[in-house]
Amino acid sequence: MRVQTSRFKWWLVMGLMLAAAAVACGSDEPGADEYLASLHTLAEQSDQRDEEIFAPITETSPASLEFLGLLADVLPLAIEATRSDIANLGSLDVPDDYAEDHATFLTFLNASADIQQRQLDAAAARDDLTSRDLGVEVASLQRNLLAGISQTFRDAILVSEDAISAGAVFGDLADDESAYLNTVERAYEEFRSRNAVFGETLRQQFSDSRALLQALQGAGAGTAFEAVQAMLLPVEPPERFAADHQLLLTYLAEAVRLDREIGQAIDEVDPVHFVVSNLELGSNDASVDAILGLSPPVREIAFPGAAFVNPTVSDDAYLGPANQALKRFSAEFGRLGPNYLAFNIGREYAFEVIARSGPGYLETVQSTLATMQSLTPSAEFTPDHALILEYFDDLIEAQTTVLDSAAGGDMLGVNGGILETQTAFCDAVTRISAELKAAGLVLFQGPPDDPELKRTCPTS
């Protein structure tokens, strides 16, 4: 539900927040400056109001029914606010230079208000399926707006970091390209809908992993990725997204295989098989290739949490190959390393999970270290490069501790190695220079004000 909540917030911020940047984009037409200044005033009021209205949702990650309950509480205020914004915008004296964009924007806001009312009806009825369908409609509406307004107007109204990013990703889409993305969106909403049962179950507390697997039986395991695959296989993508489509299908073929393995593990109440398959689902080559290779518009839908993994590639002789190596490492290994003890797995199973999965993760660390050792940094980044090599040396030591401890039946040592892995990352984050982070070394940075990074390493 985190994705749905975050998209819902972005829709409101993007749709209603018009800020100071707009004032800087005036035209020579009489009245343009006054028009833009009026938009700016409305923006400040709307931004503050909407932050207050939706704070109960956007500041948490509620479960489905809780989300719908909160939505039912806040949407009447939001609908009233949207109608007020429509009236205020409709009363403005619009210069000819902005007339078409203004009309498109008002059409968007009216459609948004209609969706808000239908979302309220669904929330009041606790109709999660309809609510999710409306989420797909919202995403399509957003993309259509971004594709339908001029670059100048888009630059003027999109000023939050999320909105600017979305404008860069989804602006200037052709009709067939928008239609393709809408299909991908609907396919992944079907995935999220089928996976919701698992999410709700995983939120509960279980005595051990076997109890969890027993609770998951009958929940439709092994079907979520099949649904996405079935919807996308017959699709003929537009030329712009042809390579993306092939990457998605390759990824989905492997995801379906592993999802079926997870389903089999649930049926057989096999915690080791379950955890190993889940670990592989996120780190297999097809998954990593898709995360790194998809273009931003498709990746934003298929892997919304991985958008920061693929920043602009530098052509610098050191930064370019270093970033390529660290991007792949970030996708395969993650910031904090593999969670061998996921799903409250018991010690009798944890050692086997580590024996089966740990060597592959250790090899990933060793391979990335070898790549980084082969690179020669400029004088400016030589101290940072030494810190990165130290980080990988620390990781090898920590992951070796995990493997050796598991082989010796030492759970205390396993926990110590996992903690050392996390400590090594936070130590590197705090020591790597701001200049190198700004240069795009993705492993040591994240989205602006990344809450996960702040929770993991509070001093970062």
d(CA 384, CA 387): 5
Phi, psi angles (nearest 5°) of residue 448: -55, 135
Of 44 and 413, which is predicted with more confidence?
Answer: 413
d(CA 346, CA 354): 12
87, burial (CB in 10 Å: exposed 0-12, middle 13-18, buried 19+): exposed
Report the pLDDT value the prediction gives residue 2, as an integer from 0 to 100: 30
Which residue type sits at 6?
S
Report the pLDDT value the prediction gives residue 156, as an integer from 0 to 100: 67
Q: For residue 38, give both structure tokens.
A: 């009026």
Q: For residue 105, give both structure tokens.
A: 């924007």
Tell which residue, 125, 244, 94, 126, has the closest CA to residue 183.
244
pLDDT tens by residue, 175-210? 888 889 989 988 988 888 777 767 667 667 777 788
Average per-residue pLDDT for the chain = 81
Report the pLDDT value the prediction gives residue 388, as an integer from 0 to 100: 94
Report the pLDDT value the prediction gives residue 8, as an integer from 0 to 100: 41
What is the pLDDT confidence band of residue 330, given thresholds at 50, 70 and 90?
Answer: confident
Report the pLDDT value the prediction gives residue 129, as an integer from 0 to 100: 66
Residue 131 has pLDDT above 80, yes or no: no
279, burial (CB in 10 Å: exposed 0-12, middle 13-18, buried 19+): buried
d(CA 447, CA 427): 19
8, burial (CB in 10 Å: exposed 0-12, middle 13-18, buried 19+): buried
Residue 397 has pLDDT above 70, yes or no: yes
d(CA 281, CA 256): 9
Report the pLDDT value the prediction gives residue 22, as an integer from 0 to 100: 34
Q: Which residue has the tokens 């892995």?
A: 421
What is the pLDDT confidence band of residue 439, given thresholds at 50, 70 and 90?
Answer: low
Q: For residue 20, give both structure tokens.
A: 């100071």
Most confident of 24-28, 142-146, 167-171: 142-146
Q: Which residue has the tokens 């606010």?
A: 81
Most confident of 211-220, 269-278, 320-329: 269-278
Angle CA 139–142–147, to nearest 5 = 125
Burial of 226-261, coded b for 16+ CB within 10 Å and e otherwise, reads bbbbebbeeeebbeebeebbebbbbbbebbbbbbbb
Residue 92 has pLDDT above 60, yes or no: yes
What is the pLDDT confidence band of residue 334, given thresholds at 50, 70 and 90?
Answer: confident
Q: Which residue has the tokens 């990824």?
A: 251
Residue 162 has pLDDT above 80, yes or no: no
State the SS3 of the chain.
Answer: CHHHHHHHHHHHHHHHCCCHHHHHHCCCCCCHHHHHHHHHHHHHHHHHHHHHHHHHHHCCCCCHHHHHHHHHHHHHHHHHHHHHHHHHHHCCCCCHHHHHHHHHHHHHHHHHHHHHHHHHHHHHCCCHHHHHHHHHHHHHHHHHHHHHCCHHHHHHHCCCHHHHHHHHHHCCCCHHHHHHHHHHHHHHHHHHHHHHHHHHHHCCCCCCHHHHHHHHCCCCCCCHHHHHHHHHCCCCCCHHHHHHHHHHHHHHHHHHHHHHHHHHHHHCCCHHHHHHHHHHHHHCHHHHHHHHHCCHHHHHHHCHHHHHHCCCCCCCCCHHHHHHHHHHHHHHHCCCCCCCCHHHCCHHHHHHHHHHHHHHHHHHHHHHHHHHHCCCCCHHHHHHHHHHHHHHHHHHHHHHHHHHHHHCCCHHHHHHHHHHHHHHHHHHHHHCCHHHHHCCCHHHCCCCCCHHHHHHCCCC
Q: Which residue has the tokens 């990335």?
A: 368
Over its C-alpha atoms, the chain yields an Rg (Å, rounded) of: 24
Average pLDDT over residues 322-348: 87
Structural domain boundaries in the chain: 2-172, 181-310
Q: Where is average pLDDT lowest: 2-6, 183-187, 199-203, 236-240?
A: 2-6
Report the pLDDT value the prediction gives residue 416, as an integer from 0 to 100: 95
Q: Which residue has the tokens 């489905």?
A: 64
Average pLDDT over residues 345-365: 94
Of 408 and 219, which is predicted with more confidence?
Answer: 408
Tell which residue, 179, 35, 27, has the closest CA to residue 105.
35
d(CA 219, CA 201): 9
Q: How many CA atoms lie within 13 A of 448 on its CB side?
A: 6
Share of the chain above pLDDT 90, in %: 31
Report the pLDDT value the prediction gives residue 50, as an integer from 0 to 100: 78
Residue 404 has pLDDT above 90, yes or no: yes
Average pLDDT over residues 320-339: 88
Residue 233 has pLDDT above 90, yes or no: yes
Tell which residue, 195, 198, 227, 193, has the closest CA to residue 215.
198
Residue 19 has pLDDT above 50, yes or no: no
Residue 116 has pLDDT above 70, yes or no: yes
Report the pLDDT value the prediction gives residue 199, as an integer from 0 to 100: 67
Report the pLDDT value the prediction gives residue 454, as an integer from 0 to 100: 67
Report the pLDDT value the prediction gives residue 9, as an integer from 0 to 100: 39
Report the pLDDT value the prediction gives residue 61, as an integer from 0 to 100: 60
Is residue 393 a contact partner of residue 421, using CB atoms and an 8 Å limit?
no
Distance separating the N- and C-terminal Cα atoms of the chain:
27
Report the pLDDT value the prediction gives residue 5, as an integer from 0 to 100: 37
Tell which residue, 324, 249, 356, 333, has the closest CA to residue 283.
333
Helix axes of 242-267 and 285-293: crossing angle, nearest 10 degrees: 150
